[in-house]
Amino acid sequence: MSGTTDQLIARRKKALGPAYEHFYERPLHLVRGEDVWVYDEAGKRYLDCYNNVPSVGHCNPYVLEALNRQAGLLNTHTRYLHHEVIEYAEMIAATLPGDLSVCTFVCTGTEANDLAYRIASTVTGNDGVVVTSGAYHGNSTLVDQMSLEFGRDHVPPDFIVGIESPYTYRGSIGSDHPNPEAAYAELTDQAIDTLASRGKKPAMLIIDSSFDARGILTPAPEYQQSVYQKVRAASGLVVADEVQSGLCRLGDHYWGFEDSDVIPDIVTMGKPMGDGHPVAVVVTTPEIAAEFAAKSDYFNTFGGNPVSAAVGKAVLEVVERDNLLGNVHSTSKYLLEGLHKLTQEFDLIGEVRGKGFFLGIELVTDRNSKEPATTQAAWITEYMRESGVLISKIGDYRNILKIRPPLVFRPEHADIVLQKLRDALTTLNN
């Protein structure tokens, strides 16, 4: 420890620069974590309902043991043979449907999505990208251009085209449409036409099944099925960005795209895979992997090192051992019931959306006009933080509360969130 919080903030401003943003009006100085709990420098405890990276809980002892054991033995890279990375790849492949069985290891979701483009463009010979609007896929030069989040002022280069996400609550096609999600899927044709008018074909569609940055959406399976089909008909591959929606988070399957009963050509994984340790993966089919290898090479110094592989394996083992998919499924059901009850009681809640441990609560000052309750969302987020519960807010208007806890979050923790949310909403009503 060194210095008070205020001193740390001042030193941070100097050493890390102004691009580093904090959560919360009063930045949170955390010093310890355990399971779903984190603790600040004063010893105050917070229920973590936001972080998806510590997937099997902060400082999971089984994962720590694997980290310490392998770090004490050897840490090299994939130019040497090592059993851990092979076993880890085999375990990942076993969770995936179809021919998705060849893993390339990287360090971050950004690197995974960037490599997915290198693979897709190399294999198809095309260079276009179709992305859903409002998505965030990462921060490299290319992937930043592919992230059409609201509020970004840059115009994407001409090989990247967006399709409006199926946001029936607030998008251009509303729930009054007879089949809004089908209509959203139809927009894919326009995007492909736009690329064609520029002399381009799609190398890939990239899609995050949680539609996180767009406000958390759960279109029916037919939506992704239709979009996949259209992009493939235009000779593009499909990349499922599972950095957010993957590893059991949506509660019904290991991977978010499985909810739509589709099989992508490439799957990217990141954030939760290493319980905090930098682990990310690109998985594809043997055919695509062979075609890419014939035309290009790829080596990532840290990706798939023995320590990262041991940690990744341990995370998958905990997920299986503790049946965390089952836990997400049942605890989410319990939490959603509570949230729907709050919706009946508080008009501020316009819509509760999402699946599993990826939930959004869209706040509006008026349910008819859907005026975004931006101020209230900010107030509630800060109130929850002061009350010892960490959530966040997202959306174009920052009026959507985001609840996205570690996979080890249990019903007794849901009770705490629901109680504090009720307190916040009641206070706002008074």
Site for a second copy in 107-146 (CB under 8 A): 107-111, 114-115, 117-118, 139-142, 144
Q: How far is the CB of 72 from a second copy (least distance, A)?
A: 6
Q: Rule CB under 8 A: which of 144-163 touch a second copy?
A: 144
H runs (alpha helix) in 302-352: 306-321, 324-345
Nearer to a second copy, 277 or 329 (CB): 277
213 makes contact with a second copy (CB under 8 A): no
305 makes contact with a second copy (CB under 8 A): yes
Q: How far is the CB of 339 from a second copy (least distance, A)?
A: 24
29 makes contact with a second copy (CB under 8 A): yes
412 makes contact with a second copy (CB under 8 A): no
299 makes contact with a second copy (CB under 8 A): yes
Q: What angle do CA 107, 202, 225 make, to 5 degrees?
A: 85
Q: Are 41 and 64 in contact (CB under 8 A)?
A: no
Nearer to a second copy, 55 or 224 (CB): 55
How many positions of this chain bind a second copy (CB under 8 A)?
Answer: 98
Nearer to a second copy, 67 or 394 (CB): 67
Question: Which of 25, 32, 375, 427 contacts a second copy by CB under 8 A?
Answer: 32
Q: How far is the CB of 411 from a second copy (least distance, A)?
A: 24
**Residue 103 to residue 357: CA distance in whole angstroms:** 26
Question: Which of 196, 220, 233, 290 contacts a second copy by CB under 8 A?
Answer: 290
Question: Candidates 170-178, 222-230, 286-294, 420-428 — which segment interacts with a second copy by CB under 8 A?
Answer: 286-294
Question: Candidates 31-39, 260-268, 312-320, 400-408 — which segment interacts with a second copy by CB under 8 A?
Answer: 31-39
202 makes contact with a second copy (CB under 8 A): no
Residue 177 φ/ψ, nearest 5 degrees: -70, 145
CA 34 to chain centre: 22
Nearer to a second copy, 61 or 326 (CB): 61
Q: Are 349 and 363 in contact (CB under 8 A)?
A: yes
Q: If phi over 0 gives left and psi between -120 and 50 gives alpha, with beta otherwise, what is residue 138?
A: left
Nearer to a second copy, 224 or 381 (CB): 381
Nearer to a second copy, 304 or 360 (CB): 304
Residue 252: count other Cβ atoms within 10 Å of its Cβ: 15
| Per-position DSSP letters for 201-247, written without gaps between them | -EEEEEE-TT-TTTT-----HHHHHHHHHHHHHTT-EEEEEHHHHTT
Tokens representing 395 are 């959306």
Residue 329: count other Cβ atoms within 10 Å of its Cβ: 18
416 makes contact with a second copy (CB under 8 A): no
Residues 6+ positions from 264 with CB-CB distance below 8 Å: 100, 228, 237, 238, 239, 240, 257
Q: Rule CB under 8 A: which of 75-114 touch a second copy?
A: 75-83, 85-87, 89-90, 93, 101-111, 114
Tokens representing 401 are 């509360």
286 makes contact with a second copy (CB under 8 A): yes
Residue found under tokens 């100097």: 14
Q: How far is the CB of 429 from a second copy (least distance, A)?
A: 30
Pairing of strands 349-355, 128-132: unpaired
